Amino acid sequence: LQLCYCFIAIANERINLYGVQFHPEVDLTPNGKQMLKNFLFEVCGLSGNFTMQSREMECVEYIAKKVGSSKVLMLVSGGVDSTVCAALLHKALKPDQVIAFHIDNGFMRKDESEAVEKSLNNVGLKLRVVNSAYQFYNASTTIAVDKKDPNRKRTTKILCQTVHPEEKRAIIGDTFIRISNDIVNELNLKPEEVFLGQGTLRPDLIESASKLASSSADAIKTHHNDTELVRKLRDEGRVVEPLADFHKDEVRALGRDLGLPAELVERHPFPGPGLAVRVICAEEPFIEKDFSETSVLVKVIVNYANNLKKHALLNRVHSATTEEERQFLMSFSTKCKLNTSLLPIKSVGVQGDCRSYSHVLGLSSEEEPADWEGLKELAKIIPRICHNINRVCYIFGGPVNYPILDVTPTHLTPNVLSTLREADSIAQTILHTSGYFSKLAQMPVILIPIHFDRDVVTRQPSCQRSVVIRTFITEDFMTGIPAIPNKHLPLDVIKRMVKEIQAVPGISRVLYDLTPKPPGTTEWE
């Protein structure tokens, strides 16, 4: 076997030039912070006298200088980013300069808007709630037909008929801007004299490939606060984003310094598009030309010990794994018998710093897994061998014995959203009451258009949907890992979520996402 060498770091001490071909700034890089510290203090000769207090003062000065005597329309979702941004605006400006609104887009969690209004009013941040669900459901926007020719446009379908995640995000982001303009007009203000305040963070700009973060990065996903209309407002100098250089952990530290209560600062992030990006919409199954081969390949991987020396696809496994990983596959497949189900749906992921939009693999078994750490390791290895798989999930409820080849037609309709809203409420309530809420950085609950356990003889149509629990542990939100049952989160807590969600009408099964980031993003869309 010929060895392949690649360079991951370069240095020229004579001209003081250093570079690395990886990400030292993310949590999952061993000694990454030490590398940055060595570079900043020993190579660049910087001193560590720039504190969070210094950054707070910098934010306040930026806001005061940018806004002057004008007004700022601040759209507050209730999440930590927009709340901290609103607090900074209140600190930097006069009370009558800040117009705070919470727009209920119809995709909020159960009783979320009422809770947001109450919690922010309790800390002196007065805001008005606008119910705009109907406008969002029926909204559309224009998008580029071809990225290489951005002047050629087409109009999307209305949101409640749209299945593509990027189009959903673009419609929602642009509709926020249109409603903001309506609010400005209702208040008899001149649009050119009103700034838009946003709690945009650095990772948002990086993942959206904004020119504020990079001129050449690939877009992982379009953030609702970085759509084409928002970028147009930025170019006009009408957007105020004091947190654009911050990461989530820094925003929380700033929020604490600003005196915000712990229940606001420590809230799990909730995306601006809300539950809209936690419903995997579909009209037909996603089955690429390599679907059948991939279905066989994943069986070879999870049954590695039984396929040694006799399967033609083994070379694919060997070329993408180390000797240590092959030893793991041998040991794990000997003691753990799993069924594989390649699901005909797509989820967003990150592979090689680029967006991937690929399949989800489900694992199921007769007996409940005893080695969840091993399953986590398997979930890391499989996408590296099968680049058309973004996520690996465990399917509760016994083995899935038949291939899943179709989907339940799913759009952003009130009935679909109410199903997810109920499942999400169950999971979040159980997490809170268990005392483990603070152990996780986030726990999205996703509705997927997959109906398991249908009668294959009578060809029962696909009419139910399934729920995915996506636990996530991270500090930087650029990388992260799932919570491992009985290590980070008691299995009994997860099983209680599964049991109660399973009782929601229309739910087929519950899955548990085992995928780290990368290759799986925090959200599924």
Q: Which residues are annotated as a binding site for ATP?
A: 77-83
Helix (H, G, I), strand (E, B) or coil at 349: strand
Alpha helix positions (H), 18-99: 32-37, 52-67, 80-92
Q: Kindly list the distances between the CA atom of residue 14 and the CA atoms of 18, 45, 46, 204, in Å, as whole numbers in the listed order.
A: 11, 16, 19, 37
- Joined together, the tokens standing for residue 477 give 């939100």
Which contiguous run of DSSP H or E holds residue 121? Answer: helix 112-122
| Rounded CA separation 392/383 (Å) | 8
- Joined together, the tokens standing for residue 227 give 């759509």
| Rounded CA separation 220/264 (Å) | 28
Structural contact between residues 336 and 365, judged by C-beta atoms closer than 8 angstroms: yes
Residue labelled with tokens 């809203």: 421
Q: Kindly list the distances between the CA atom of residue 395 and the CA atoms of 28, 341, 375, 386, 461, in Å, as whole numbers in the listed order.
A: 27, 9, 12, 20, 21
| Rounded CA separation 444/438 (Å) | 14
421 sits in the region (left: phi over 0; alpha: psi -120 to 50; else beta) called alpha
Residue labelled with tokens 């119910």: 131
- Joined together, the tokens standing for residue 146 give 């071809």
Binding residues: 77-83
| Rounded CA separation 363/361 (Å) | 7
